[in-house]
Structure 1
């Protein structure tokens, strides 16, 4: 039987049993019991109502009785619970089993992607002391586009238009930020600016990107099996991607020695590549890149690593999740090479934080810094001629989505 038929037959059986003692249950109680049994038998038990709720972006479980969810950037405690610790472990093992992973005392951690695209990480005993720890990162059915990001005031139309022009004309971009700051969402939106005639290879630990372009080759890393064999790392996939004739390589998140191969690819004909990075700021992102390159297992001198980073990366976009749950692009910075022993970096756009206005809810404002980007000459060679006065120091208006500037969809077209 398929899942639909199973649920139908199980519902008929439960309702038949409930009708035998209809004097003990109200209609509401019968409906609740029926749904709970179906969810626990064929689904993921108490998690099912949360997974059906489109407003929830994260589900965080700290034992059978402590479940939190994130809605619109704010954490709140959910009103569900599991019967006991064993019930929670049983549900988590069901999740792991559906994706072909094993979860028990000999293999107490799992990191996988669920059938709906959600990313799940689970840790059970003996590592988890107070019951299983589970984190589920959910993704909406519809990926956020430029209009959504501007409508949510994550950045302004001018900032988006500059970024999309940079992507369209082949500058290498790193999207930096903390966990849950919107890095992957922004990078996914930026991919819409890539010309449709280019071949893109994506590499991810858990598939999150949803790029609507005609020529996309997607790859996903693989964890080792229970015998400790069969692991395929991001570095393995980057090396393989170079043999697949890509125009651009997009790495979902750069977190290890693959940074060295990625930077080499950026400097050897794969212009316009993108990746995300965990860091607290653009300068921290550069230092983290240098550290990751050092993990490649080769004794590279510090000056060589800095030269590699300075020549490979052109734009760093910093994303931040504010205390009120809002996601903001707090800076767009340009890397202009190496000066002495330092990678040169300057901000083009920035978000200036202020105390929250109780009447409007505003937490700050976007502005240009007054620095003219060095990359303007390079953009001009691709036909994107931008008036330097655009970057004069000023406060930027946060337009609603119906006043978005035209997007840079391909090289050869200026939008500013």
Structure 2
């Protein structure tokens, strides 16, 4: 048998087929199958091995080459390419290196250019860092040399094909059914909710699940760097995505540009995938100017840290007194939800707090739920999200939304 069947068949495809012509995927797959099954030197391969060879050759032309099976595997949540010879994955919460590699660095570079080209992004030596996405919505981060010292690197964060619901998160132990019900009521009552957490804590997944509670008769505008949210319950939905500057340094459209534009699109709610910089001020002002029920996320290690980071973000784009910034935060955001990735790699809601105003120049929180760890079994953290015993202090929005059912009396008694 030939030394490398993959390269041999791929070279035959290149020589016999005009890949620039309008040959569709089905035709290409059929031609590759025909080549593989007819070649005598491949007769020693089993039928399963031939099918894998056909798929690999096809993926090298129309897919993501060696990455395609990884992208197609629902158990894999993260793919980390440190160089063309160095590929890691996260599968079932465990990170491991794979015995896979691209045939060359130039092949990896071709795949990278194909990915960024489909979403009208540019990545090169002058713009060596870019965020993009795959056709299935998976998040992609790319860093090129000279920033990446070992060669092009790419990290792919995958998301489930069907968006995870809050019920799914409850079943996985991320939060309790009671807390999920409280959040459902708060979303229906148009409370502005901000989700914080560290890298890989599940903020986007949680935001997507929380968004499913938005009433279907509302108009929602989503704003993201790379479109990832899949809000399937709201028909009147507009999804906006940022754009990088072109090679001449023109045409950039940032998050804050999209937030400002969205205010003229008659939204009932605005959902900002993540705030990282000066756009935080625009988001807070939108929440403060009649767009109640808006949602967003940010990176932080705790709720207090999230407040501090929001202050820093606002100040990075506006010369305002810190007291004014804190007043903006306290009046715009009603609820903070904090997510953590615990040492057993599970993702949990670890805090839900209400913002109740200012005291001595600081934003004051009213803790509603906190995660309490009770032990460890078989390497898994045991614990649950427990109510703190504090009533919700501001129920005006609930009353305005006509919510007076049992949850209001049972777990959200209003202090006079």
TM over 0.5: yes
Which structure 1 segments of 5+ residues have no match? 393-416
Farther-moved stretch of structure 1 (267-276 vs 367-376): 367-376
Matched residue, 1:382: 401
**1:45, 1:120 → 2: CA distance?**
16
- Does the alignment pair 1:110 with 2:130? yes
Gap change, CA 1:379 and 1:101, over 3 Å in 2 = closer
- Does the alignment pair 1:271 with 2:271? no
**2:117, 2:335 → 1: CA distance?**
41
**1:381, 1:348 → 2: CA distance?**
21
Matched residue, 1:222: 243
Farther-moved stretch of structure 1 (381-390 vs 182-191): 381-390
Contact 1:63 1:131 in 2 (8 A): yes
Farther-moved stretch of structure 1 (68-77 vs 161-170): 68-77
Structure 2 length normalisation: TM-score?
0.88
Matched residue, 2:13: none
**2:126, 2:384 → 1: CA distance?**
51
Structure 1 length normalisation: TM-score?
0.88
Matched residue, 1:411: none
Out of 2, 5, 12, which is 2:34 matched to?
A: 12
Gap change, CA 1:156 and 1:390, over 3 Å in 2 = same
Question: What's the offset of the Cα at 1:112?
Answer: 1.1
Matched residue, 1:413: none
Alignment of 1:132-281 (within 5 A): 132-211=152-231, 212-281=233-302
Contact 2:29 2:54 in 1 (8 A): no
Contact 2:274 2:298 in 1 (8 A): yes
Matched residue, 1:292: 313
Matched residue, 2:150: 130
Any idea what the Cα deviations from partners look like across 1:38-91, whole Å, max 9, x if unmatched?
Answer: 222332211111011111111111112221111233222223222233332232
**1:305, 1:271 → 2: CA distance?**
19
1:253 partner SS: coil
Question: What's the offset of the Cα at 1:214?
Answer: 1.8
1:10 partner SS: helix
Question: What's the offset of the Cα at 1:303?
Answer: 1.0
**1:98, 1:184 → 2: CA distance?**
22
Higher relative contact order (CA 8 A, sep 6+): 1
**1:23, 1:265 → 2: CA distance?**
66
1:11 partner SS: helix
Matched residue, 1:401: none
Question: What's the offset of the Cα at 1:381?
Answer: 4.1
Question: What's the offset of the Cα at 1:161?
Answer: 0.6
Gap change, CA 1:102 and 1:237, over 3 Å in 2 = closer
Q: Which consecutive aligned stretches of 4+ in structure 1 deviate over 6 angstroms post-superposition?
A: none
Matched residue, 1:405: none
Aligned residues: 388
Gap change, CA 1:28 and 1:263, over 3 Å in 2 = closer
Gap change, CA 1:188 and 1:33, over 3 Å in 2 = closer
Gap change, CA 1:91 and 1:387, over 3 Å in 2 = closer
Gap change, CA 1:100 and 1:197, over 3 Å in 2 = closer
Matched residue, 2:358: 338
Contact 1:200 1:246 in 2 (8 A): yes
Matched residue, 1:371: 390
2:226 partner SS: coil
Which structure 2 segments of 5+ residues have no match? 1-22
Question: What's the offset of the Cα at 1:136?
Answer: 0.7
**1:380, 1:90 → 2: CA distance?**
57
Matched residue, 1:408: none
CA RMSD of aligned residues (A): 2.0
Contact 2:66 2:100 in 1 (8 A): yes
